[in-house]
Amino acid sequence: MDEKQIMEQKIRDLESSLSCNSSPIGDWKVTKCMEYQLAGKELPYDFEELSKQRQAVRDQINELQEKIAALPEEDAE
């Protein structure tokens, strides 16, 4: 596997961590917080911490995408 493929796989893994139902930072936790808020209940998770963790993953994705874009043309194919 070349460098670009490795970075692309890492991006897929990170994106999965944001959406996967078994992930501790998955979309399901955001949805659950929204449901609780709409029902006027106390949030089941620390939403600020959850948001911070999810943003860190997005930052990693963006960094990898920038690295891929900066690869020499022959490596980017």
CA 43 to chain centre: 21
> pTM to 2 decimals?
0.86
Residue ranges per structural domain of the chain? 6-76
* pLDDT given at position 76: 47
Which residue matches tokens 């917080």? 33
pLDDT in tens, 14-55: 999 999 999 999 999 999 999 999 999 999 999 999 999 999
Cα end-to-end distance, the chain, whole Å: 13
Q: Are 23 and 17 in contact (CB under 8 A)?
A: yes
